[in-house]
Chain A
Amino acid sequence: MQTSNTAQSSSAAPNKFINFLRKHHVFNKVRAFLQKYMMLIALIAVVIFFSFQKGGAILFPQNINNLIQTNAYVFILATGMLLCILTGGNIDLAVGSVVCFAGGVGAIMMDRSIPWPVAVVAMLVIGLLVGIWQGFWIAYVNVPPFIATLAGMLAFRGLSNVVMGGFAYDITDQNFLNIFGGKENCYVPDFFANIGPEIKGEKGVILNKFCLAVGIAFVIALVIYTILHRIHLKKNGYKLQPIVSVIIKTTCISAALLWLFYKLACHKGILTPLIWIGIVLAIFAYITTKTTFGRNLYAVGGNEKAARLSGVNTRMVKFKAYVMMGLLAGFAGVLNIARFVGAKPSYGKQYEMDAIAACFIGGASAYGGTGTVGGVIIGALLVGVINKGMDIMGTSANYKLVVKGLVLLLAVFFDVIMKMRKKGGAEE
């Protein structure tokens, strides 16, 4: 102890307390907790901050709706970007241009009265082909991803201008817009409207009962799954998480789900882009955690040489990651033209940056090998909430960029210091 004599008596009690905490690994636990949930805490903090601005406008049902609609592309693209980043911090700069190009082709097709399902398939195929093209150069010719996709970014932006000839194309097909989230009717209709009494929510609006029912169904499914999963784990002799933490976690997720669906029910119900986001996230959460391809992604990003010597076809893994990224960029193009009810050669600029930022904010490592779809959801939400919140506050678009940049830097900085501390701890 290096405290002076006078200070000793007063500092004895806190020291004792600190030693007690140390003995019970409280610091390590707090650090582990922070490391795992920091971005979630940041998200909640940001939401609380904005909810004190402009009378809590950010939590108005129509704003939540709007947030999902305008940020759908971030979720879709960030999911694809995660796959690329997992293979070793490789990014895809071309996605913004691909969104624009695929969307442009689709809009022109619909403009020429080609049925919308054909146009959608065409857009997906374009995305897929772009993915194959870029994946080939990256995985099989060893062109650095930064260069290969920078080339794609320029080329597909140019091609968008070429096919659209500098014109804007409007979309008039109401079915297409309803299904992929454009204009005011892109909601799942209230199938239960005529069943039972009307339920009124905040400010006396009539709630969408189907939406509420879906929310409740999700929560019930979650609870049942959690219980069954735990029984299954116990039966197979896994080490179980403490029951309290499982209950807290399930309760929090349930509450968040109910709150979301309640808000949605206050404003016309479930919007169709949300369904698409849900489907894409579910598929890729499954791929990354449960399949051999997913496992290989993490192995290649964690240690490419070790993966290759373990018999993993590392080129194929990278190739597939870019093909999937391309496909998702094509799909983001579909959602994008629906949202803007048309296509312009300037659409999709800087989309790649939002996607990359969402991944890194969500805890993906810039060197590859770590990152989850769950993290991407939080990262994309954080980007979305900041976008929307500053819109509501009337901040200029320029400051929005500044804030987003700083948030990205802070998130990665936090990740770096957490890792440094851990290293120091191991040496002790």
Chain B
Amino acid sequence: MSKVLLEMNHITKTFPGVKALDDVNLRVEEGEIHAIVGENGAGKSTLMNVLSGIYPFGSYEGDIVYDGEVCKFHHIKDSEKKGIVIIHQELALLPNMTIGENMFLGNERGSKYCIDWNKTYSEADKYLEMVGLTDSSKTLVKDIGTGKQQLVEIAKALAKNARLLILDEPTSSLNEKDSKALLDLMKEFKAQGMTMIIISHKLNEVSYVADKITVVRDGSTIVTLDCEKDDISEDIIIKAMVNREMTDRFPKRKNVNIGDVMMEVKNWTVYHPEFTSRKVVDDVSINVREGEVVGIYGLMGAGRTELAMSIFGRSYGIGISGTLKIAGEEVILKNPKQAIRHKLAYVTEDRKGNGLVLSNSIKHNTTLANLKALTVKDEAADRRSPIPKLVIDKDKEYEVASEYVEKLRTKTPSVEQLVGNLSGGNQQKVLLAKWMFADPDILILDEPTRGIDVGAKYEIYCIINDLVAAGKSVIMISSELPEVIGMSDRIYVMNEAKIVGEIPASEATQNNIMACIVKSGKEADGIANE
């Protein structure tokens, strides 16, 4: 038995209304690679934030024992001083600076008032060599690929004298070859005595590199498997990851009445707007029928939002190709305005960033996507008049907003309330109200229940059921398995920009959906399992 480097005991972390971590225990021995696996939102990142001091000591319960002493980190600097370094999933490099400048940012070499550039670049080159990069440290970060950028991140961590290196989804933006190289590098470091924690949902990678695997689900550690002694077959891990009780959290639909195909997307391909050679949606074909809820399940970064937004008037991505048919007719939607005119609605996952105008009232947010409807009293007369009407009928607006507040049971003193002052669940309802008032036939709901409490979730589900009962078509994007299974008539599984499975609701289980993802990941990566 080698020495235990890190022990996290009974860690509990609550956010207002949510228990993000519930009595988590983790033991990492010196010189091992310890993998943490779990779904999105299982609590992996929260756990690492607790460890690194991003959530300071005192904001959580339980204790952290590192190298034999109890640690009270108040700041990320405190944990870095001890040699605990995190490499986050989103690369945090500044593209217009050189590798060397990036590597010592906030940790500059030289005296207090003067940076020693010779020392900076010579040390940088030394660390680059350690991670196997041959580029000069004077190269600008934007000029190297994402694979190399990930290596620079690791070199940067080494420069901080890391003893415990935490890699959060390190291969999520890498291709197969770079991923393999990265994993091999990890093994090399292990041979030199470095301790590492890798967070991932790619089971093939995990079983390739890890010595121990801890499964996290719903804020708790479920099991820790030792790769040498225990059976670490995918079935067992998947079961531990997703096997939760299916309670009756979803309202049942009466008279399911599914009609003709409303919208059909064929061979849809989208490229990343900045990394123009990267496909974010790859040859996707999906369809949705009248009165049907179609679920799209996928982990974060699978390309779900990108797919939805590119359909919705090309509001994301470049080089979009493929055909889009609405009600049997092929259409080209160049901007959201045209999409709305073709009775399409996209309810964003990012309600604060892309959905609502927080400084405006409920009333103004509700009507924003369909102001035109408020400027005309008589639609037939409007068509005859050549001058577009520009003046808002404020009474009608008030009426509409009040009606939706009542219908969706939004909790607010009045429709004049600023949306920024509402709770998440109520904001979501305002967002839904906006798109319902736009009177679409097809609604794409992107994570419609993210970050809202259980009661509000149930209400949102009821609204979705009402919508399809009224003959609308709903595409529901979600990374919550029970939600997708509980609400959908049909489920598409998406992974790494592709649709990797289509499962009717009657056959869908948490296990076979997760299996779709795991299998596709293996095919794509082609890394040996043993």
Contact = CB atoms under 8 A, between A and B. Distances in A.
- Which 8 pairs of residues, A with B, have the shortest CB-CB distance? A302-B357, A310-B369, A311-B337, A311-B340, A302-B359, A369-B359, A303-B357, A292-B371
Interface of A: 232, 236-239, 290-293, 295-296, 298-299, 302-303, 305-313, 365, 369-370, 426
A369 B394 contact: no
A236 B395 contact: yes
A299 B392 contact: no
A299 B360 contact: yes
Instruction: Identify which of A291, A295, A308, A311 gathers the most chain B CB atoms within 10 Å of its CB.
Output: A311
Residue among B346, B360, B394, B395 with max Cβ neighbours from chain A (10 Å):
B360
Nearest to B338: A311
A313 B388 CA distance: 15
Interface string B360-384: 1000100011011001000000000
Given A311-B337, A369-B360, 5 more contacts: A295-B368, A298-B357, A299-B364, A303-B356, A312-B368
Interface of B: 312, 315, 335-337, 339-341, 346, 348, 353-360, 364, 368-369, 371-372, 375, 390-392, 394-395, 398-399, 402, 414, 416, 421, 434, 438
Contacts of A238: 398
B110 to A, nearest CB: 35
Given A309-B312, A310-B336, A292 B357 contact: no
Contacts of A239: 414, 416
Nearest to B388: A292
21 contacts: A237-B402, A290-B394, A295-B368, A295-B371, A302-B359, A303-B359, A305-B353, A305-B354, A306-B348, A307-B368, A308-B315, A308-B336, A309-B312, A309-B355, A310-B336, A311-B339, A311-B340, A311-B369, A312-B337, A312-B368, A365-B359
B359 A310 contact: no
Contact of A292 (B312, B372, B398): B372
B105 to A, nearest CB: 26
B355 to A, nearest CB: 5
Contact of A299 (B357, B395, B414): B357
A426 B421 contact: yes
A223 B359 CA distance: 31
Given A236-B395, A309-B348, A311-B337, A292 B356 contact: no
A328 B372 CA distance: 27
Given A299-B368, A309-B336, A290 B359 contact: no
B478 to A, nearest CB: 19
Contacts of B354: 303, 305-306, 309
A79 B242 CA distance: 59
Contacts of A313: 335, 337
A106 B199 CA distance: 71
Candidate in A296, A302, A309 with the most chain B CB atoms within 10 angstroms: A309
B431 to A, nearest CB: 9
Nearest to B394: A290
A239 B361 CA distance: 15
B357 A307 contact: yes
A201 to B, nearest CB: 41
Contacts of A236: 395, 398-399
A365 B420 CA distance: 15
A232 B394 CA distance: 12
